Amino acid sequence: MIDESRVSGGALSSDGVAADVALAEVRRLRAADRPTHGGRLFAYVYDPAVPGLDDLAAAAHRESAHVNGLDPTAFPSLLAMENALVGAAGRVLGGGPGTTAPDVVGSVTSGGTESLILAVKAARDAHPEITAPRIVVPASAHAAFAKAAHYLRVALDVVPVSLDTLRPEPAAMAAAIGPETVLVACSAPSYAHGVVDPVAEIAAVAAEAGVRCHVDACFGGWTLPYLRRLGEPVPAFDFTVPGVTSISVDLHKYAYAPKGVSVLLHRDAALRAPQYFAYADWPGYTMINPVIASTRSGGPIAAAYATLRHLGDAGYLRLAAVTRDAVAALADAVRAVDGLRLMAEPESTVVCFTATGDGPDLFVLVDELTARGWHTQPQLSYAGLPASVHLTVTASVAPRVAEFGPDLAAAVVAAHAAGPVRLPAELASLVGALTPEALTPEVVVGLAAGLGLGADAGAGPLPERMALVNTLLDAAPPALRERLLVEFVGLLQRPTWGSDD
Ligand SMILES: *Cc1c(COP(=O)(O)O)cnc(C)c1O
């Protein structure tokens, strides 16, 4: 019988549980996660391993968690902290008083994706006369540009990258610009391979055509300037480059702030103006939103502010030096192993490698590394580029790097011994024959079960060894990969109804 006077289910208990019980549940759930600290997870997390920093950020977050960024006049603390974050990012990226970009302004967003969506929105809405707007991006640009194009109904013109340099040719970028192009974008560096695009040349062709140029420095905007100060040959990619009109940098990456903070900078306020959304045509408050969210927690902004204040310029310089040394040691470890090669010489904080012809099966190698406690990010083959393994390197990796080389070598030996993954014939023919449209929920359920995917698989939603899944995805064209993963994640995202009484 359902007692209709009380509701419970999922996270909602009928009487509420004690605070310590609720917290213990969070901690128990967290135990299944990949380790966010300790320098063995090469994606998703950015850990400087600075003692006390987590506590500081958490305290600052708590202080401002209930403050609402919806109205900066009601909460001037948030306005002050946002302006300080934008000022810091502007300075790091070549703008501010005394530079060639003295009028830089910006906004704090929730992440790189939101920054890129807003850069595209600003460019689109600056040209109401263009009815079918387009943007030009290199194939190596972050997927968030495709998401922006999709959300904003802007067409995406993708320029291939050289299979050698992993960069687009500026001439090819120029050739892709047409009368409906509202934005040209490039990366500093690209997420997948960590290479810096020829920003100056691309910005020049954009300026020549009278088109905005966005530099996606979400990943590297906070490290490249410090690496340059340390003597690394970092090309100009920021507001010192004529023609660069906007830059994004994620503070929740290498500024080491907790998640939920990115900055989108524009060279001047006129360029930023079409980013805003304002609406007075309803009976409630007039809405003036610089970013996508309206109600916004002050927590991430305060946490980022405290993090920047505490680490300071000298702290970031030191962390960049530590990270650079870790990158060099990891790259050496890759070079030392037969059967692997670097996709590119590291020029930022990414180490990306692939297998040579007689090398190990890369997806088996990833599993062997996982078994040894190293969590790497496999990248599927794409447009002539081979499958690869991505390592995002942060300062916390430095104390671990000496252990990585021997483990990598052992993992390669083990991967050779295990041999490459062979897709069972029925799976191979299924993937060969499947079209995204033919992929019904029933087919996906069957496929997921066959691959050991799903909440019933045991401890977690994924099997311990992922090589078979990765091999299957690698064999599928991108549109089928998308559909398979959408269906699979949809299977995972089902409510738990629970019962606590
Ligand atoms: C991480 C990243 C993004 C997207 O940022 P999110 O914070 O994950 O939304 C965009 N571009 C680059 C180059 C990135 O590294």
- 399-422 pLDDT, tens digit per residue, is 999 999 999 999 999 999 999 999
CB 214 near ligand 1, within 6 Å: no
CB 260 near ligand 1, within 6 Å: no
Alpha carbon nearest to ligand 1 atom 15, residue = 219
CB 197 near ligand 1, within 6 Å: no
CA of 195 to the centre of ligand 1 (A): 15
On the question of pLDDT at 501 being above 60, the answer is no
Alpha carbon nearest to ligand 1 atom 4, residue = 112
Per-residue pLDDT, 459 = 56
Residue 29 φ then ψ, to 5°? -65, -40
CA distance 247 to 28: 40
CB 109 near ligand 1, within 6 Å: no
pLDDT digits (tens, 9 = 90+) for 339-360: 999 999 999 999 999 999 999 9
On the question of pLDDT at 364 being above 80, the answer is yes
Task: State the DSSP code for 359.
Answer: S
CB 140 near ligand 1, within 6 Å: no
- Atom number, ligand 1, closest to the C-alpha of residue 190: 13
CB 238 near ligand 1, within 6 Å: no
CB 216 near ligand 1, within 6 Å: yes
Which residue range is the domain that position 291 belongs to? Answer: 63-307
Split into its structural domains, the chain has a count of 2
On the question of pLDDT at 122 being above 80, the answer is yes
Q: Is residue 31 part of a domain?
A: no
Per-residue pLDDT, 68 = 95
Q: pLDDT confidence of 456, banded at 50, 70, 90?
A: low
CB 112 near ligand 1, within 6 Å: yes
Listing DSSP states for 156-216 in one string gives: EEEEPPPTTT-S--HHHHHHH--TTEEEEEEESS-TTT-PPP-HHHHHHHHHHHT-EEEEE
Q: Is residue 1 part of a domain?
A: no
Domain termination site, one of 307, 329, 361: 307
Alpha carbon nearest to ligand 1 atom 10, residue = 112
Q: Name the least confident of 231-240, 272-281, 462-471.
A: 462-471
On the question of pLDDT at 499 being above 70, the answer is no
Greater pLDDT, 170 or 438: 170
CA distance 378 to 388: 6
Per-residue pLDDT, 432 = 81
Residue 258: half-sphere exposure toward Cβ, Cα within 13 Å = 19
From 46, 110, 113, 118, mutation site for ligand 1 pocket: most ligand atoms within 8 A of C-beta: 113
Same domain, 299 and 429: no
Domain termination site, one of 307, 322, 354: 307
Helix H or strand E segment including 23: helix 19-30
On the question of pLDDT at 119 being above 60, the answer is yes
Average pLDDT over residues 423-442: 83
Greater pLDDT, 259 or 426: 259
CA of 142 to the centre of ligand 1 (A): 7
Average pLDDT over residues 427-445: 82
CB neighbourhood size of 129 (10 A): 6
CB 113 near ligand 1, within 6 Å: yes
Dihedral-angle region of residue 255 (phi above 0 means left; psi in -120 to 50 means alpha; beta otherwise): alpha
CA 325 to chain centre: 23
The percentage of residues in the chain with a pLDDT greater than 70, rounded to a whole number, is 98
Greater pLDDT, 4 or 364: 364
CA distance 34 to 3: 40
Per-residue pLDDT, 498 = 78
Same domain, 429 and 298: no
CA of 209 to the centre of ligand 1 (A): 27
Q: Is residue 57 part of a domain?
A: no
Q: Is residue 350 part of a domain?
A: no
Q: Is residue 361 part of a domain?
A: no
CA of 191 to the centre of ligand 1 (A): 7
CB 481 near ligand 1, within 6 Å: no
Greater pLDDT, 448 or 191: 191
Residue 127: half-sphere exposure toward Cβ, Cα within 13 Å = 19
- Beta bridge partner(s), residue 264: 107, 248
Closest to 248 (Cα-Cα) out of 229, 222, 225: 222
CA of 162 to the centre of ligand 1 (A): 22
One-letter amino acid for residue 304 of the chain: A
CB 144 near ligand 1, within 6 Å: yes
On the question of pLDDT at 82 being above 90, the answer is yes
On the question of pLDDT at 455 being above 60, the answer is no
CA of 283 to the centre of ligand 1 (A): 37
Closest to 307 (Cα-Cα) out of 77, 23, 53: 53
CB 348 near ligand 1, within 6 Å: no
On the question of pLDDT at 225 being above 90, the answer is yes
Give exposure, 438-448, as e/b (b: 16+ Cβ within 10 Å): ebeeeebeebb
Per-residue pLDDT, 335 = 98
Closest to 185 (Cα-Cα) out of 154, 231, 142: 142
Return the structure tokens found at 182.
């509202």
Q: How far apart are the first and last CA of the chain?
A: 13
Q: pLDDT confidence of 1, banded at 50, 70, 90?
A: low
Greater pLDDT, 440 or 316: 316
CB 191 near ligand 1, within 6 Å: yes
CA of 198 to the centre of ligand 1 (A): 19
Q: What is the dihedral of CA 140, 383, 177, 113, to 10 degrees?
A: -40
Query: Dihedral of CA 238/239/241/243: which sign?
Result: positive
- Beta bridge partner(s), residue 391: 351
Q: What is the mean pLDDT of the chain?
A: 95
pLDDT digits (tens, 9 = 90+) for 161-213: 999 999 999 999 999 999 999 999 999 999 999 999 999 999 999 999 999 99
Q: What is the dihedral of CA 158, 162, 166, 172, to 10 degrees?
A: -40
Greater pLDDT, 490 or 5: 490
From 218, 292, 352, mutation site for ligand 1 pocket: most ligand atoms within 8 A of C-beta: 218
Domain termination site, one of 307, 338, 365: 307
Helix (H, G, I), strand (E, B) or coil at 52: coil
CB 111 near ligand 1, within 6 Å: yes
CA of 218 to the centre of ligand 1 (A): 5
Q: Is residue 248 part of a domain?
A: yes
Residues 6+ apart with CB under 8 A from 175: none
Q: pLDDT confidence of 437, banded at 50, 70, 90?
A: confident
Q: Is residue 315 part of a domain?
A: no
CA of 190 to the centre of ligand 1 (A): 9
Same domain, 148 and 282: yes
Q: Is residue 405 part of a domain?
A: no
Helix (H, G, I), strand (E, B) or coil at 452: coil
CA of 276 to the centre of ligand 1 (A): 21
Closest to 362 (Cα-Cα) out of 228, 475, 470: 470
CA of 219 to the centre of ligand 1 (A): 6
pTM, two decimal places: 0.96
- Beta bridge partner(s), residue 109: 262
One-letter amino acid for residue 392 of the chain: T
CA distance 78 to 63: 11
CA of 445 to the centre of ligand 1 (A): 31
CA distance 180 to 128: 11
CA of 88 to the centre of ligand 1 (A): 19
Domain harbouring 298, CATH code: 3.40.640.10
Average pLDDT over residues 129-139: 98
Cβ–Cβ < 8 Å for 370, 409: no
CA of 145 to the centre of ligand 1 (A): 10
CB 221 near ligand 1, within 6 Å: no
Residue with tokens 């045509």: 281
